Amino acid sequence: MTVKVWAFSEAPSSANEAAAAARGIAESAGGTFTVVGVDDGLGLAGDDKLILRSAAKLATSPEAAAEALARAVKEGGPDIVLVGATRNGKEIASRLAVKTGMHCVSDVFGLALTDGKLHGRRNVFAGKLLAEVVAPVPCVAIIKVGSYSALQPSAAPGTTRDVGEVSTKTRVVEQVEKKRGTVDLKGAKLIVSAGRGVKKKEDLALVNDLAAELGGAVGCSRPLSSDMGWLPEEHHIGLTGISVHPDLYLAVGISGQLQHVAGIKDSKVIASINSDKSAPIFEASDYGVVGDLYAVVPAVMKELKARRH
């Protein structure tokens, strides 16, 4: 069979990650891939593009985007629809599976088509286990964020398809952009992250200074953002926060619960500073320092400064 793979996201960068996965499947199994976007369709990769349009903006309404995509899928007949795992993307893919009766797998990577079935892997139990998933075709697969390197946008104009009117049951009354830090955590090469070992909000200065010295971004474990509110939620790294893949992840005063480690697994090097020798973070680290962060962080700062001169 000649497999027909679609890569979709309402966000172009995420669509282009899915496109990398789609290209891999199409090339190895023998088939074609189409990159599907919405609205103006700018920034998409691939030679074959399909841009879905409606009177309403589709990018900001997952309900409308799912209906638009379902109409296009029923007409275009792809065997596999790959959807980027943004928060809205998960909704779109899940709705699509219900609308079309396609099987649906979530947060997958390492995809391949074998014996007419889509095979992939995914983390389960907060990353403690790796599951092999097998979905009969046709299917929808939600692609784990950051598991494929996005294809570069192309100049191909693509085909635009007006999907007609799509109604929605909810109405967006206000949209507030979150305040962005100076460095984007998802793309950061170096991240210094703070955890419960930091005793007072003011003491975050230690972590901020260390991140500044290293030219890195500041992250945190869940308690600091969700429970203490010391940092905005977008700094929260872990299962329910952001997954990161820096060259160096430096965990300061983080115990290393599974949910946190789930978000840092793809880091090249993990280092940690914690006063508790039995903290699970040391099991997840390449280099660990057992010691009081209030003494170790200044000492590390001094070493780094000395190294610079």
From 49-57, 146-154, 159-167, 294-302, span contacting another protein (CB under 8 A)? 294-302
* Choice from 39, 60, 109, 183 touching another protein (CB under 8 A): 60
Question: Are 20 and 149 a contacting pair, CB within 8 Å?
Answer: yes
Q: At closest approach, how far in Å is the CB of 48 from another protein?
A: 27
Q: Rounded distance, CA 164 to CA 213, Å?
A: 53
**From the CB of 54, what's the least distance to another protein, in Å?**
18
Q: Which of 48, 71, 106, 228 binds another protein (CB under 8 A)?
A: 106
Cβ-Cβ contacts under 8 Å for 92 (sequence gap 6 or more): 8, 10, 62, 65, 66, 69, 83
198 binds another protein per the rule CB under 8 A: no
User: Of the candidates 21, 133, 194, 244, which one interacts with another protein according to CB under 8 A?
Assistant: 133
| Min CB(166)–another protein separation in Å | 14
Joined together, the tokens standing for residue 26 give 């199409």
- Minimal distance in Å, beta carbon 135 to another protein? 5
Distance in angstroms (rounded) separating the CA atoms of residues 222 and 15? 28
Q: Does 126 bind another protein (CB under 8 A)?
A: yes
Q: Is 48 in the site for another protein (CB under 8 A)?
A: no
Quick one: 237 or 270, whose CB is closer to another protein? 270
Identify the bridge partners of residue 219 per DSSP, sorted by sequence position: 193
Minimal distance, residue 175 CB to another protein, in Å: 5
DSSP assignment letter at 45 = B
104 near another protein, rule: CB under 8 A: yes
CA distances from 116 to 78, 120, 139, 159, 231 (A): 13, 13, 11, 28, 47
Cβ proximity to another protein: between 79 and 107 the closer is 107
Token couple for 148: 């494929």
Query: How many Cβ atoms sit within 10 Å of the Cβ of residue 100?
Result: 17
**Is 201 one of the binding residues for another protein (CB under 8 A)?**
no
Nearest to 197 by CA among 264, 106, 296: 296
